[in-house]
């Protein structure tokens, strides 16, 4: 007998009928002889609705209250599923983050799980129960409710799988696996049978919503096998696992886009030591993640410094940066929140040259201007105007022939 963690996303629990579908799938797993721990998201659209309410209540809602509010969507789905499982004749118990406990740090809106106490779950599993856990939430040292960042239920599931030493973590969603690009953007996207933790991590960080980046970090660290599958079919799905020799053949295995980007340019920054620290320290202190950073070569000891942040942080970031810019004597700050980041990812890039050149040529041919570039060992990202997102994804997918199965 094994232990399986199954996570169902928002579209999979969007209404009572779909929650019943989840109940039947969970029961099937239980009947096959495995213990089952289920992690649920809120109903599709519910977290957005709650965020909207918070923003109507206050322009800058108190983070503690905000997290306590936006975590409530999951309380609805886990209790409904547990009720249904009981109605269908199974012992079931729902748990919120603080009832288990899922301990996190104190970073509201983007908390990180630091420890999970598995005692209650293990006790209930021994009694034959199906465990249903609210995703996306935890509790800090002072018992404040925290949330893990949008899409964070994936992370709850993988963290639970790691803590319980589960045999597998299955992520059920509205697509039947990880594709070469978002199948909802390009119909030539191809489903991958497997993908390495490293490639999946880069894809997730580059904006592929299908898995929350932190969930892949944890899966890699604790070597949790993760299957991404559809909750609406019995198709095989994609296994996220350790890299093997076959995978290295793919120079580029995926194209991703991230519309959640805003570009901030500080113009005419005096080029002297300590300037970057003065600009970026306040952002770090406010937990604002900076993604790409470019500093131009200086002319007459003046330089432009451009970087990107998440769109939801741009208001706060621009206030902090304007303050710093005044302090250091920069000319002004320019904000552009109509940009997107397009990335190509592949472990095979390490040993192939010319990949970047091909990406730039492909975008140039379509008249798409590249505003920023960044590279890592297995990823190249370009910031372009947001209106070119779909076009850029499609032409890059074609240029690297991702619709074709290689080897
Ligand atoms: P859930 O609510 O189940 O967590 P998400 O919306 O968070 O689902 O993630 C699934 C979505 O991820 C898909 O509907 C798809 O549009 C998107 N997606 C983006 N990139 C990819 C990719 N490379 N492969 C599969 N899906 C992707
Ligand atoms: N309900 C949360 C969100 O919409 C968490 C999740 O779905 O993973 O972000
Ligand atoms: Mg998700």
Which pLDDT tens digit goes with each residue over 198-212? 999 999 999 999 999
As a whole-number percent, the residues of the chain with pLDDT over 90 amount to: 90
Do both 47 and 155 map to the same domain? yes
pLDDT at 179 over 60: yes
Of 174, 191, 206, which residue sits at a domain end?
Answer: 174
Pocket of ligand 1 contains residue 238 by CB under 6 Å: no
Mean pLDDT of the 83-102 span: 98
Please check whether residue 201 lies inside any domain of the structure. no
Do both 162 and 71 map to the same domain? yes
Do both 169 and 266 map to the same domain? no
CATH code for position 385: 3.30.2130.10
- State the CB neighbour count (10 A cutoff) for residue 329: 12
Number of independent structural domains in the chain: 2
Of 157, 174, 191, which residue sits at a domain end?
Answer: 174
- Confidence category of residue 407, pLDDT binned at 50, 70, 90: low
Joined together, the tokens standing for residue 323 give 């303050």
Joined together, the tokens standing for residue 235 give 């198709």
Do both 270 and 380 map to the same domain? yes
State residue 215's pLDDT score.
98
pLDDT at 76 over 60: yes
Range of the domain at 137: 3-174
- At 369-391, the pLDDT tens digits run 999 999 999 999 999 999 999 99
* Residue 191 DSSP class: B
Joined together, the tokens standing for residue 47 give 């977290």
Q: If you measure from the C-alpha of residue 150 to the centroid of ligand 2, how many angstroms do you get, rounded to a whole number?
A: 5
Measured CA distances, 353 to 231, 290, 318, 364 (Å): 40, 28, 38, 19
Q: If you measure from the C-alpha of residue 407 to the centroid of ligand 3, how many angstroms do you get, rounded to a whole number?
A: 31
Q: If you measure from the C-alpha of residue 352 to the centroid of ligand 3, how many angstroms do you get, rounded to a whole number?
A: 32
Residue ranges lining ligand 2, Cβ < 6 Å: 9-10, 41-42, 47, 73, 135-136, 150-153
Please check whether residue 54 lies inside any domain of the structure. yes
Residue 260 near residue 252, CB atoms below 8 Å: no
Ligand 1 atom 10: residue of nearest CA: 210
pTM of the predicted structure, to 2 decimals:
0.94
Is the alpha carbon torsion for 55, 78, 205, 220 positive or negative? positive
CA 380, CA 344: separation in Å to the nearest integer? 5
């Amino acid at each position: 007998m094994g232990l399986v963690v199954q996570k169902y996303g928002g579209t999979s629990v969007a209404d009572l009928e779909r929650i019943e579908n989840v109940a039947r799938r969970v029961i099937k797993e239980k009947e096959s002889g495995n213990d089952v721990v289920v992690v649920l998201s809120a109903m599709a659209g519910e977290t957005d609705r709650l965020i909207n309410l918070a923003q109507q209540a206050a322009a800058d809602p108190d983070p503690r209250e905000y997290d306590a509010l936006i975590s409530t969507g999951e309380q609805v789905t886990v209790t409904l599923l547990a009720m249904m499982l009981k109605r269908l004749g199974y012992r079931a118990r729902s748990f919120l983050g603080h009832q288990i406990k899922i301990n996190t740090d104190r970073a509201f809106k983007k908390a990180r799980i630091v420890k999970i106490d598995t005692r209650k779950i293990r006790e209930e599993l021994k009694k034959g129960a199906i465990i249903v856990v609210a995703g996306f939430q935890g509790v800090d040292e002072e018992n404040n409710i925290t949330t893990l960042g949008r899409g964070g239920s994936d992370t709850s599931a993988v963290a639970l799988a790691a803590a319980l030493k589960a045999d597998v973590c299955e992520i059920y969603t509205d697509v039947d696996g990880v594709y070469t690009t978002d199948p909802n953007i390009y119909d030539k996207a191809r489903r991958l049978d497997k993908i390495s933790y490293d490639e999946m991590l880069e894809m997730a960080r580059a904006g592929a919503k299908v898995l929350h980046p932190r969930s892949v970090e944890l899966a890699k660290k604790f070597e949790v096998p993760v299957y991404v599958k559809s909750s609406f079919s019995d198709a095989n799905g994609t296994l996220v696992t350790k890299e093997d020799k076959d995978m290295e053949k793919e120079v580029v295995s995926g194209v991703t886009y991230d519309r959640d980007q805003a570009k901030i340019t500080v113009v005419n920054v005096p080029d002297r030591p300590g300037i970057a620290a003065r600009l970026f320290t306040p952002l770090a202190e406010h937990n604002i993640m900076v993604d790409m950073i470019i500093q131009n070569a200086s002319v007459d000891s003046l330089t432009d410094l451009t970087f990107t942040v998440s769109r939801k942080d741009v208001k706060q970031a621009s206030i902090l940066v304007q303050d710093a810019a005044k302090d250091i004597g920069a000319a002004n700050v320019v904000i552009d929140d109509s940009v997107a980041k397009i990335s190509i990812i592949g472990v095979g890039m390490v040993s192939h040259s010319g990949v970047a050149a091909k990406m730039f040529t492909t975008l140039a041919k379509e008249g798409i201007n590249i505003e920023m570039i960044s590279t890592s060992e297995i990823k190249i990202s370009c910031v372009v105007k947001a209106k070119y997102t779909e076009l850029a994804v499609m032409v890059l997918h074609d240029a690297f022939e991702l619709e074709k199965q290689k080897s």
